[in-house]
Amino acid sequence: MSTTRRRRPALILLVFIGAAGCLALGWWQWTRYESASGSFQNLGYAMQWPMFAGFCFYAYYKFVRYEEAPPPKPDQNQPTEIPDGLLPERPKAARRLDDDPTLTEYNAYLAELARADGRTDTDDRTTR
């Protein structure tokens, strides 16, 4: 017997206590709505709390269903594909302008300095 099945009476009791608490809060909000200082906000809360009580039972129902038949596990050997359009597009690289006269002049100046410094290595020390 699984440990979850042994704790099932405690879980059922917890669900009933949670639902009863939600219904009690709904009743309290209803009495606040009917009082002289009540507003439509209290009416909204009075209508929400019974839905929360129903969710307690729904969550327990789903818990029992997953316990009996858990969802299938994904294959660990297969790569997971990300659907198109989920992630933002990567930015495109800036276009290189070779016809910029200022850049060409600056690169020529750097090449002249490198020759004057006596460098003979083949490193390209120009800016891009």
Q: How far apart are CA 127 and CA 107, in angstroms?
A: 6
Structural domain boundaries in the chain: 3-68
pLDDT value at residue 95: 74
Examine the pLDDT at 2 and tell me if it is beyond 80.
no
Give the single-character DSSP code of 97.
-
pLDDT in tens, 11-59: 999 999 999 999 999 999 999 999 999 899 999 999 999 999 999 999 9
In this structure, the chain runs to a length of: 128
pLDDT in tens, 67-106: 888 778 878 888 778 888 888 888 888 776 667 888 888 9
User: Is 96 in contact with 128 (CB distance < 8 Å)?
Assistant: yes
Higher local confidence (pLDDT), 77 or 5: 77
Give pTM, 2 decimals. 0.52
Nearest CA among 3, 55, 53 for reference residue 24 = 53
Per-residue pLDDT averaged across 107-125, rounded?
Answer: 77
Please write down the HEC assignment for all residues of 62-126. HHHHHHHCCCCCCCCCCCCCCCCCCCCCCCCCCCCCCCCHHHHHHHHHHHHHHHHCCCCCCCCCC
Per-residue pLDDT averaged across 61-72, rounded?
Answer: 84
